[in-house]
Amino acid sequence: MGKQKHLIKFDIILDDCPDNVFRSTSSFPVLMRKPWNTDVTGLLSVNNLEDFLQLIHQIRSTIIRISQPLHKPSVIALVGPSGSGKTEWMNALIKEASFVRPTSYTTNPNNSINHQYISHEEFDKINFFGRTMYGGYGYGTKEDIKELINCGYCQRKPLQPCL
């Protein structure tokens, strides 16, 4: 998402960087515990996927009881480096009927399980909502994510920080 994060109101974010969690404007910023952040206190935190799923269920049931639903559209951003388990977490979360996963595109022919493969030429022609290059391959989400958001669908999207 890069510099366009202000376009979406996040209800829940999960990040292992304490600075990102503290600065977040989301309703429920959550810290994923890792060896480098064990001394951080004063915020919601989880140790594993089961903890995070339980926390989401607690948040949703509390919101239902106090009659304040999640913002529609709702976005849960899973942020972390390659191999940190974002896709596994996202797939576990997608099992709930009210969430969808926007289509991601890549120029990497070996990564078509989680992304739709397109050529470099096609990639360069598309106006992506968010895009990045990693390992010489392009990754992006098309503008059609806005249609899902405007229809009120809840989104789940794994994000990789790019420095």
pLDDT tens readout for residues 74-130: 667 777 777 777 777 777 777 754 566 777 888 988 876 778 899 999 999 988 877
151 pLDDT exceeds 80? no
Residue range 133-142: mean pLDDT, rounded: 84
Label residue 163 by pLDDT band (50, 70, 90): very low
How many Cβ atoms are within 10 Å of 102's Cβ, its own excluded? Answer: 19
Q: What's residue 129's pLDDT?
A: 75
Q: Who's near 41: CB < 8 A, 6+ residues apart?
A: none
Q: Residue 81 domain-assigned?
A: no
Q: What's residue 61's pLDDT?
A: 76
**What is the distance between the alpha carbons of residues 158 and 84, in angstroms, rounded to a whole number?**
10
Structurally, the chain folds into a number of domains equal to: 1
Q: Residue 108 domain-assigned?
A: no
Q: Residue 10 domain-assigned?
A: yes
Least confident window among 55-64, 108-117, 143-152: 143-152
**What is the distance between the alpha carbons of residues 105 and 125, in angstroms, rounded to a whole number?**
13
Mean pLDDT of the chain: 76
Q: Residue 62 domain-assigned?
A: yes
Label residue 8 by pLDDT band (50, 70, 90): low
Label residue 162 by pLDDT band (50, 70, 90): very low
Q: Residue 127 domain-assigned?
A: no
Q: Residue 63 domain-assigned?
A: yes
Instruction: Determine if the pTM surpasses 0.85.
Output: no
Q: What's residue 99's pLDDT?
A: 66
Q: Residue 159 domain-assigned?
A: no
Domain limits for position 37: 1-70
